[in-house]
Structure 1
Amino acid sequence: MSTVSQTLETEDDLLTCLRVKLYHPQQNVKGLYQLLPLGAKSRHSAEDPLRMGRDAQSCALALADARVSRKQLALHAYRTPRSPDTLFEIQNLSQKGQLSVNSTALEYLERTELPDKALIRFGEYEILIVRESGEAKGSFEVELEVLAAPPSRETCTCVSSVAPVMEAASDWMDNFQGGPLETDETTMLHS
C-alpha cells in the first residue's frame, strides 16, 4: 500500500502570487508586451529564477524591445526559518543599465530584497510588483497586466501638493510662542 506525502503541493494549495503591472510611455505604439501572457496567471517553479529581458528563450517574461538587455532582471524566490512566506529578491542582470527598486539603485549583479509592493524602473519602464502571500512552497504564480498611466504617479508625493502643507506649517510655527520645536526634516520624494 502506497501513501502520499502530506507535504506535496496540490492544486488546492494557495500559491504566492506576484502581480506585475507594466508601463512604458510608448506601449500603445509598439508591441512591447506581445510575448507576455497578459491577463492570465502563469505558474513558476520556486527553484528557478524568474527572468525578464529581451531573450525569449532564457526569460519567462520577454519584452519585444531592442533597448532592453537580453537578460534585464531576475526574481529569486526564497524562504527564511522565521517566516512561512515565500519571499523574493530582485537582481539586476544588465551590464548596460541601472535598475532601481523603490528608488534604490542596483548595479550589475547586485541584489536586494523585494518588498511586498515595489516600484521597479529601468530605461523608460516602470513596473509595479505586488506580492500576495500563499501557502505553497514549491511554486508561485505571476499575473501580468498593462497600466494606462505610470505607477509612479500613484505612489509618489508631488512637490506641488507638499507646498501648501509647508506654508501652513510655516505660518503655524511663526505663531507658536512655546519655544523651539524639533522637526523631522526627512521627506521622501520619489523621482
Structure 2
Amino acid sequence: MVRKMFLAELIMSNFEDADTEETLTCLRMTVYHPGQNGGIFKSIKFYNREKLPSSQVVKVGRNSSICQYTFLDRQVSRVQFSLQVFKQFNSSILSFEIKNMSRRTSLMVDSQELGYLNKIDLPYRCMVRFGEYQFLLEKEDGESVDYFETQFILSPRPLLQENNWPTQNPIPEDGSYSSFSMQSASPTEMDENELWIQA
C-alpha cells in the first residue's frame, strides 16, 4: 500500500514538473494537378503532419537533394519556391513568407505575380499557382515559436473552380506571360550546359 502511494506521488510529481506542451502552427497545403494520377506526387506523404524547426527554410521543387518536398515532373524547377517562418514585430504568432526560386516560371499568389527571387508574406488563406499546379495554403496558428508543422492534402478536383479563383494559363518557356500569345508546348527546363551546346 505504501509503495503504491509512493509510485502515485512520483507519477503526479513528474506530471506536474513536465514542460507544458505547446501547440504548433500548421501550414496546410491542399494540392491539385490534372496529371496527379501519373505519380508526380509519389514522394509526398499526404495527410501526415511533419514537425520542422522554425529556423528551417522549406524548399519545394524537383531536386530531392535540395528540396524537402519534391514533385516528379520535368516541368517543375529544381527549386520552385521556398517557405520561411518569421515573426511580425510585436507579435508572438508565426507567419510565413513565400519566395519564387524559379528563373523561368512566375509564381501567382492569389492575384499577385512573383518573378524570380520575389517574395511576399502569406495571408491566412491563399491560392498559389505555377503552370498547372494549384495550391490552397491555409495557416492554423499555434503557440510554439521553435517549431511548426506542414501538412499536404490531395484534392480530387481543381481548386480554382471550387474557390472561384480566376484561372491562369500556363506560362511559356521564356517566362513572359501574355493572354494573347500562348505557346502550345509545355515549358521544360534546360541545364546551363545544354544552353551552351545549343549556342
Please give the TM-score of this superposition, normalised by the length of structure 1: 0.75
Distance across 2 between alignment mates of 1:85 and 1:36: 27
Pick from 14, 18, 22: which aligns with 1:13?
22
Which structure 2 residues correspond to residues 70-85 of structure 1 after superposition, within 5 A? 70-85=78-93
2:36 counterpart of 1:27: yes
**Equivalence for 2:159:** 151
Shift of 1:59: 0.7
**Equivalence for 2:119:** 111
**Equivalence for 1:133:** 141
- The amino acid across from 2:21 in the alignment is D
Summarize the Cα distance change of 1:43–1:126 in structure 2 as closer, same or farther, 3 Å threshold.
Answer: same
Pick from 49, 63, 69: which aligns with 2:71?
63
Pick from 44, 56, 78: which aligns with 2:52?
44
Distance across 2 between alignment mates of 1:132 and 1:121: 21
- The amino acid across from 1:44 in the alignment is L
Instruction: Please report the RMSD computed on the Cα atoms of aligned residues, expressed in angstroms.
Output: 1.3
Aligned length: 149
**Equivalence for 2:97:** 89
Shift of 1:11: 7.8
Distance across 2 between alignment mates of 1:104 and 1:42: 28
Distance across 2 between alignment mates of 1:67 and 1:34: 16
Summarize the Cα distance change of 1:102–1:43 in structure 2 as closer, same or farther, 3 Å threshold.
Answer: same
Distance across 1 between alignment mates of 2:87 and 2:46: 27
Shift of 1:154: 2.0
Where structure 1 has 5 or more consecutive residues not aligned to the other structure, the ranges are 1-9, 158-189
